[in-house]
Chain A
Amino acid sequence: MTRTLERPAAAHEVSGRGNHLAGTWQLVRLALRRDRVVLPIWVVVLGVMASAGAGAYETLYPTQAEREALTATMGANPSLTLLYGPAFDLGTAGGFAAWRYGAILSLFIALACIFTVTRHTRQEEDTGRQELLSSAVVGRYAALTAAVLVAAFGAVLTGGLMAASLIGVGLPATGSLAFGASMALAGLVFTGVAAITAQVAEYSRTANGIASAVLGVTFLIRAVGDAAVDASWLSWLSPIGWATQVRAFADERWWVLGLLAFAAVLLAAVGYRLLPMRDVGMSLIPAQPGPPHAAAGLRTPFALAWRMQRGVLLGWGIGFAVFGALFGSLAAGVGDLLGDSAQTQQIMARLGGSQSMVDAFLASMGGIMAMIASLYVVQATLRLRAEETAVRVEPLLATRVSRFRLAASHLVFPLLGSALLLAVAGFAVGLLHGLRVEDLGGQLPAVFGAAMAQLPAVWLVAGVAVALFGLLPKLSTAAWAVAALFLLISMFGPVANLSQTVLNLSPFQHIPKLPSAEFTATPLLWLTGLAVVLVGAGLAGFRRRDIG
């Protein structure tokens, strides 16, 4: 039985050059539909953050004298430039907002772009959905192009909203546009980085991990370059450094935007070059065969959880050690330059709640480390949900492993892994700071203790994530939103002059500002108690609910 198949008219197009991009527009629409909740959230939250800080500037520093003091002290301080980047002009609201928010917002926008690209490329291949799409009239480069377009769309929208909202609070349009453009382009650079890691890594987790590590390293290079006077050229090796070097609101250097745009295009082009060098679903680095037999130790759910979670914990641990050591070695510098100006003390006090500049800096470092650790906590907790949706939990629960034991084997990581991260950071900061001020015996335990005191707040975030997982599994990812909300409130709330009621929402706000402030156990016990209740409720929910 033979018959001639009519060739559809569309087949003519497929043979042309356009075929590599066929279906891109459909995939863009699919991606936008899938991201219809997440994308607007990050665009709006990141978009309005800087203008909130700029708006509060007038209230916080009303007089010229205060602004001069701010410029003279904080702007020149290596420990603060380490974190925020160089201050070019703290005498205006715009200059202040660009300094205070620039580096950190570029970090977040870069993360958002990385996750967006990976989600629509490598993750689609992980789940096997890409095969289904690729079998349709979809060109080889369509998925990558769609992902890049959607991430770029989000970045440009965020930058545009930043500029518009800064203009909206009465700042000069030139500076606002420069700031928005530098942030959007920082996002685009890491869109390009993710376009590469999506080809190199075999799994979406690895792709996100490598891209985030690249981001961490570029942030670190910028931090060192900005803080160390004799190595300021280092900042010019980092795209995050370029974003701050645009100098929004301080005699803008527009050509630096070109540098960012060039890097973004170059990186994306590398991604496009790498794509045809591999098969769909496979990576550039071929998978290595494993052992034919399991090691004797691989016999418990915890051993399995360890195999799945150890790489992530190790990566975070290295990050915490490196940043801890860096900040520890520069903490003493805060006191050198800030002097005793009442205004600057007040500014630092807002961050760290202390009168001693160095201690305030250490306290705010402890808080920041804890907030970042809370992101690890969410990631590690939601791994359990990811295993469940990937139907890898069912075969385990069909053995004699109880639900409680299975959940507990994973929850070791958010609960104890976070303690480990804080310990590593606290130890690194305390060690380097102690060596620098030649008071290791005094500083190391104090700083270490201050870091560990943050743990109850981190556990509370874990509690929220576990409760969502157990009671409202379909809303598990909302744990990210909760952690981000706490982080944004505590990191930017005091500068944006938010009311105490709002500030109190974040658990990090309730931790005593050690090492200088008085230690009070009450809030720590409350937070721990609440975390225990939430974890307990989540576990009870998990034991009672349907799997899947």
Chain B
Amino acid sequence: MENAISVSGLRKSFGSTVALDGLDLSVATGEVHGFLGPNGSGKSTTIRVLLGLLRADGGTVRLLDGDPWRDAASLHRRLAYVPGDVNLWPNLSGGEVIDLLGRLRGGLDQRRRNELIERFDLDPKKKGRTYSKGNRQKVAIVAALASNVELLLLDEPTSGLDPLMEATFQYAIQEEREQGRTVLLSSHILAEVEALCDRVSIIRNGRTVETGTLADLRHLTRTSISAELAGHPNGLSKLENVHDLRIEGNRVQFDVETHSLDEALRSLTSIGVRSLTSQPPTLEELFLRHYTEHAKAGSTS
């Protein structure tokens, strides 16, 4: 089994609203896969289709070599899910919810359960609404991570966690990876994605716009260069793929697309370089580019 999840051409509409419009997603077994996209781009809908909670209108979906709609209950023995919106039963304590969900999945590692409760600093005796949003998420996270499963589907699991708990979460996911588990992680927290994910898929308007390793994605974007030259910079503006060029005396600052980096540097060295700093694109820049293009596409359509 090479891929834990393979989705191609997935479509799903709610009435006249198109939520998924030919989405592709493949998650290899054993990898931690980041699932990114602006709000309302269809991440949760995709995860709910993968869980068999929603029925796909079109396309193919394979999950752990099964059909998530038809084989839902048997596939669910092998996965655990953390919903984006965790709502607990009002009259059940957090500890009861963790045990119940674990048992319904088919087994809970008691030692790991207690260890995780400790690490996440969770009070298992509180009930339903007396938990804060972050603590409700911790209940769902502990229930999922203490279950003995192959695949974790996590829908923005840490959106309510404090930085300390975020670190605890990242550490716990690293452990899961070492155990050979597959993780699909939908997240807006870029540091988390950078720290955990082997590959990411970025979706927009219900379609996959980019998929690959972070290195691959970086390769597609621009590097920022700022340099102090021996003479007045000229000729740079003629270069293709150079953007946001600013010149102040002998100082120059610009962004260049990665495949034109060679050419740009040759142009600089031909003048003579006194100092040079180059910055790889940050994840923020990478995502903002995809997300704002979304906004532009949205406003023009």
**Chain B 12-41 residues near chain A, CB threshold 8 A:** 14
Is B127 a contact partner of A294 (Cβ separation < 8 A)? no
Q: Which of A281, A288, A289, A544 contacts B55 (CB 8 A)?
A: A544
Which of A81-89, A368-376, A395-403, A418-426 contacts the other chain? A395-403
> Is A292's CB within 8 Å of the partner chain B?
yes
Question: Do A547 and B83 touch (CB < 8 A)?
Answer: no
Is there an interface contact between A293 and B95, defined as CB atoms closer than 8 Å?
yes
Please name all residues of chain A whose beta carbon is closer than 8 Å to the beta carbon of B76 when the two chains form the complex. 397-401
When distances are taken between beta carbons in the complex, the residues of chain A under 8 Å from B80 are 398
Any A CB within 8 A of the CB of B246:
no
A391 touches B87 (CB 8 A): yes
Q: Of A34-42, A300-308, A503-511, which binds chain B?
A: A300-308
Cross-chain pairs A/B with CB under 8 angstroms, 20 sampled: A287-B128, A288-B127, A290-B96, A290-B125, A290-B126, A290-B127, A291-B93, A292-B95, A299-B104, A303-B100, A304-B92, A391-B83, A394-B83, A396-B101, A398-B79, A398-B81, A400-B104, A402-B72, A402-B73, A546-B14
Residue from B14, B74, B87, B153 with most neighbouring chain A CB atoms (10 Å): B87
Known A-B contacts A395-B140, A400-B106; A298 and B91 likewise in contact (beta carbons under 8 Å):
no
Most buried by B among A294, A295, A298, A304: A294
> Are the CB atoms of B125 and A291 closer together than 8 Å?
yes
Whether B54 sits at the interface, judged by CB under 8 Å, is yes
Contact A298 B100 (CB under 8 A): yes
Q: Does A168 contact B (CB under 8 A)?
A: no
The answer to whether B124 and A203 touch across the interface, beta carbons within 8 angstroms, is: no
Kindly list chain B residues whose C-beta atoms are within 8 Å of the C-beta of A339.
Answer: none
Q: Check A290–B53 contact: CB distance below 8 A.
A: no
- A481 at the A/B interface (Cβ < 8 Å)? no
Which of chain A's residues has its CB closest to B106's CB? A400
Query: Out of B53, B79, B103, which one reaches A546, CB within 8 Å?
Result: B53
CA of A289 to CA of B190, assembled, Å: 36
- Per the CB 8 Å criterion, the residue count for chain B at the interface is 45
Q: How far is the CB of B148 from chain A (nearest CB, A)?
A: 12
Q: Per-residue 0/1 for B153-174: is the Cβ within 8 Å of any A Cβ (1 yes, 0 no)?
A: 1000000000000000000000
Q: List, in ascending order, chain A residues with CB within 8 A of B83's CB.
A: 391, 394-395, 398
Contact partner of A292 (CB less than 8 A), chosen from B73, B91, B105, B125, is B125
Interface assignment of A172: CB less than 8 Å from any CB of chain B? no
Which residues B107-148 have CB closer than 8 A to chain A? 124-130, 140
* Pairwise interchain contact B126-A397, C-beta atoms closer than 8 A: no
Shortest Cβ distance from B125 into A: residue: A289
- Chain A residues in 8 Å Cβ range of B101: 395-396, 399
Chain B residues lying within 8 Å of A398, measured Cβ to Cβ, are 51, 53, 76, 79-81, 83, 153
Assess A304 versus B89: contact at CB under 8 Å? Given A292-B124, A399-B76. Answer: yes
List the 7 closest pairs (A to B, CB-CB), nearest first: A290-B93, A294-B99, A399-B104, A398-B81, A292-B95, A289-B125, A294-B96
Cβ of B85 and Cβ of A294 under 8 Å apart? Answer: no
In the complex, what's the smallest C-beta–C-beta distance from A388 to chain B, in angstroms?
Answer: 10
Q: How far is the CB of B10 from chain A (nearest CB, A)?
A: 14
Neighbour of B85 across the interface among A308, A391, A399, CB < 8 A: A391
* Bound CA span A392–B77, Å: 19
Query: Does A548 sit within 8 A of B, measured CB to CB?
Result: yes
- The reply to whether the CB of B281 lies closer than 8 angstroms to some CB of chain A is no
CA A401 to CA B72, docked complex, whole Å = 9
| CB neighbours of A395 from chain B (8 A) | 81, 83, 86, 101, 140
Known pairs A299-B103, A398-B79, A544-B55; A291 contacts B95 (CB<8 A): yes
List residues of B (55-102) whose CB comes within 8 Å of A's CBs: 55, 72-74, 76-77, 79-81, 83, 85-93, 95-101
Interface residues of A toward B: which range? 35 or more
Contact assessment for B95 and A290 in the assembled complex, using a CB-CB cutoff below 8 Å? yes
Interface residue? B272 (CB, 8 A) = no
Q: Is A390 an interface residue (CB 8 A)?
A: yes
Q: Which B residues are CB-close (under 8 A) to A546?
A: 14, 53-55
B52 interface residue per 8 A CB criterion: yes
B80 to chain A: closest CB distance in Å?
Answer: 8
Chain B residues with CB under 8 Å of A289's CB are 93, 125-127
Closest residue of chain B to A125, judged by CB? B129
Residues from chain B with Cβ under 8 Å of A126 in the complex: 129
A298 and B96 form a contact (CB under 8 A) = yes
Given contacts A289-B125, A304-B100, A395-B83, contact A400 B73 (CB under 8 A): yes
Question: Is B294 engaged at the interface, CB distance under 8 Å to the other chain?
Answer: no
Residues in B with CB closer than 8 Å to A300 are 104
Q: Give the Cβ gap from A500 to chain B, nearest Cβ, in Å.
A: 42
B127 touches A397 (CB 8 A): no
Kindly provide the distance from the CB of B7 to the nearest chain A CB, expressed in whole angstroms.
Answer: 17
Q: CA of A483 to CA of B85 in the docked complex: distance in angstroms?
A: 33
Interchain CA distance A453-B52 in the complex, whole Å? 41
A396–B100 CA distance with the chains assembled, in angstroms: 9
Within 8 A of A (CB), among B183-230: none
CA distance A437 to B147 in the complex (A): 62
**B88, closest chain A residue (CB):** A392
Given A390-B87, A398-B51, A402-B72, check contact A294 B95 (CB 8 Å).
yes
Interface centre among B90, B95, B124, B140 (most CB of A within 10 A): B90
Closest to A289 in B: B125
- Closest residue of chain B to A546 (Cβ to Cβ) is B54
Minimum CB–CB distance from A487 to chain B (whole Å) comes to 30
Q: Give A264 to B116 CA distance when docked, in angstroms.
A: 52
Whether the Cβ atoms of A292 and B87 lie closer than 8 Å is no
Q: Chain A nearest CB: distance from B249 CB in Å?
A: 30
The reply on B290 being an interface residue by CB < 8 A is no
When distances are taken between beta carbons in the complex, the residues of chain A under 8 Å from B251 are none
The smallest C-beta distance from B161 to any residue of chain A, in angstroms, reads 18
Contact between B106 and A287, CB atoms less than 8 A apart: no
Interface contact A294-B53, CB-CB below 8 Å: no
Q: Which of A299, A300, A397 is packed against the most chain B CB atoms within 10 Å?
A: A397
List of B residues within 8 angstroms of A203 by Cβ: 90
Which partner residue on chain A sits nearest B143 by CB separation? A395
The residue of chain B having its C-beta at the shortest distance from the C-beta of A390 within the complex is B87
CA distance A391 to B80 in the complex (A): 16
Cα A390 to Cα B96 in complex, Å, equals: 19
Q: Is B130's CB under 8 angstroms from A294's CB?
A: no
Chain B, residue nearest A127 (CB): B87
Chain A positions 387 through 416: 1 when the CB is less than 8 Å from some CB of chain B, otherwise 0:
000111011111111110000000000000
CB distance from B122 to the nearest CB of A (A): 10
CA distance A243 to B81 in the complex (A): 55
Return chain A residues, CB-CB under 8 Å to B53.
394, 397-398, 546-548
Per the bound structure, the CA–CA distance linking A370 and B124 in Å amounts to: 42
| Cβ distance B264 to chain A, nearest Cβ, rounded Å | 36
Q: Mark B230-263, 1 if CB is under 8 A from A, else 0.
A: 0000000000000000000000000000000000
Least distance between A401 CB and chain B CB atoms (Å): 6
Could you tell me if A399 and B105 are in contact, using CB atoms closer than 8 angstroms?
yes
Chain A residue contacts of B74, Cβ below 8 A: 400
The residues of A that contact B177 with a CB separation of less than 8 Å are: none
Question: Which residues of B lie under 8 Å from residue A391 when comparing CB positions?
Answer: 83, 85, 87
Contact between chains at B48 and A400 (CB < 8 Å): no
Look across to chain A and name the residue whose beta carbon is closest to the beta carbon of B47. Answer: A398
| Interfacial residues of chain A within 496-548, with CB under 8 A of chain B in the complex | 544-548
Min CB–CB distance B142 → chain A (angstroms): 12
Chain B residues with Cβ below 8 Å from A390 are 87
Q: Which residues of B contact A544 (CB under 8 A)?
A: 55
Q: Which B residues lie within 8 Å of A293 (CB)? A: 95-96, 99, 124
Report the separation of the CA atoms of residues A170 and B188 in the bound assembly, to the nearest whole angstrom. 69
A397 touching B140, Cβ below 8 Å: no
Report the Cα distance A299→B129, complex, angstroms.
22
